[in-house]
Amino acid sequence: MTAPAAVIVGPPGAGKTTVGQAVAALLGVDFADTDHLIEQRAGKPIPEIFFDDGEDAFRALERETIAASLGSFTGVLALGGGAILHEGTREALRAHTVVFLSVELTDAVKRVGLGAGRPLLSVNPRATLKYLMEQRRPLYASVATHTIATDARSPDEIAAELAALLKDRG
């Protein structure tokens, strides 16, 4: 079966994109981020997809992009933080190596900052992130084959641990 070397899940600010890229480089495989693939497909950045077309349209594109990538991509694949909200996506992930990068609220807030790149966090980022993380934590845990806590650790350190873990699995 064609499958990604690893699929990375976790809340915004967990470091999925940053650590995913570093792990792929350490393993010498390709990296893809479904948010980036969605932007390419839609021809516009994620905030514009949310504002022009709505969250439901974004989620539909997200579902399709993930389903296509799981069946064709062999590198390290980072998902967006809300990807696991869809039951069909959680089901599809069951056959895969899935790494949950966990992070507590304090570090997550520091990392996402006040940037405009995450439309769901554009109003009251701390309270929204707290709610999202509480709601989603059991869903990340339910799809994960591995969990790595990222608080107070550098992306390089986390990437090295994850690369070693994936190499051991052969």
Ligand X SMILES: Nc1ncnc2c1ncn2[C@@H]1O[C@H](COP(=O)(O)OP(=O)(O)O)[C@@H](O)[C@H]1O
Ligand Y SMILES: O=C(O)C1=C[C@@H](OP(=O)(O)O)[C@@H](O)[C@H](O)C1
Looking up tokens 């807030």 gives 109
| Shortest reach from residue 170's CB to ligand X, in Å | 26
Check residue 125 for interaction with ligand X (CB under 6 A).
no
Check residue 97 for interaction with ligand X (CB under 6 A).
no
Kind of pairing between the strands at 76-78 and 98-102 = unpaired
Strand partners, 9: 100
- How many CA atoms lie within 13 Å of 2's alpha carbon, on the beta-carbon side? 10
Strand partners, 100: 9, 147
| Shortest reach from residue 65's CB to ligand X, in Å | 15
126 in a known ligand binding site: no
Q: How many residues bind ligand X (CB under 6 A)?
A: 15
Check residue 12 for interaction with ligand X (CB under 6 A).
yes
Residues 6+ apart with CB under 8 A from 161: 148
- Site string (4-43) toward Mg ion, x via CB under 5 A: ------------xx--------------------------
User: Which residues contact ligand X by CB under 6 A?
Assistant: 10, 12-18, 81, 111, 150, 153-155, 158
